Homo-oligomer: A and B are copies of this chain.
Amino acid sequence: MPNRRSVYFVSDRTGITAEALGNSLLTQFDTFEFKKTTIPFVDSMELADRAVAQINATAQSDQNRPIVISSIVDEAISARIRECNARVLDFFQVFISPLEQEFGMKSAHAAGRSHGLRNSQEYFSRIEAINFTLAHDDGQSTKELSRAQVILVGVSRCGKTPTSLYLGLQCGIRCANFPLTPDDFERGALPQSLMPHRDKLFGLTIAPDRLAAIRNERRPNSQYSSPEQCRDEVLAAERLMEASNIQMLNTSTRSIEELATTILLQRGLDRHIF
């Protein structure tokens, strides 16, 4: 396999940013098959030596040298990593100098400031958003809907729960979600408990065949997952949301990240990235 390449993500902290950056670059080379390994928490020369040994061993066994995408704040540790037998791209080292130049000052060069525990207030507000989102999943509670920053509505399994959890966990947004059911369609009206919060509603919809596929994973060959039921529910939900002037987003071809980003953008909410 000539197009197989080993990739290491090396970081002095979690490696999450290095992975995100690296993956967004590697997806551009889709004829390759990448074997990815993350080496996090490389914050001493000893751990750097160990990472270099691991990478060099791979370089010896592979036909090609590995790629290393790294994010190391400490210059000595970064220099040690760059000595390995690999193509090393350290985004921190590449970008920090132009920023130092722009700001007219040296950077703190202190590790652990990203994806670390910055302060208690930030932690508490993140936890609060997660708890709020969990307590208000799938219409479980309506007590505190007035504290929601956004309330997602849509048919069962259209993507409300994953999107809500993402908004809570990754953006610190208090997001409730509430199902629209055949009962609501028969009455031709939104659930009563949502009426005081109409300005916070945001609709999710989905292609009926995709909904059927998703429901079928959960309850195979049921009425619930039948193409007819899915089509009827989606049509009725879209009609109800249109009549209620609720902004709608189709989840069929969008990732959770794209859904969350679009909702924040359209609602003018700030993402507090963690």
- A side interface size, CB within 8 A: 79
> Which of A46-54, A88-96, A191-199 contacts its partner?
A88-96
Contact B162 A114 (CB under 8 A): no
Chain B residues within an 8 Å CB radius of A131: 161
A1 at the interface (CB under 8 A from B): no
A109 at the interface (CB under 8 A from B): yes
Chain B residues within an 8 Å CB radius of A108: 28-30
Contact A162 B17 (CB under 8 A): no
A71 at the interface (CB under 8 A from B): yes
Q: How many copies does the complex hold?
A: 2
Interface string of A65-85 (1 = CB under 8 A from B): 001000101000000000000
Q: Which of A220-274 contact B (CB under 8 A)?
A: 253-258, 260-262, 265, 271, 273-274
> Which of A19-27, A55-63, A181-189 contacts its partner?
A19-27
Contact B117 A255 (CB under 8 A): yes
Chain B residues within an 8 Å CB radius of A40: 261, 265
Interface string of A12-48 (1 = CB under 8 A from B): 0111110111011111111110000010110000000
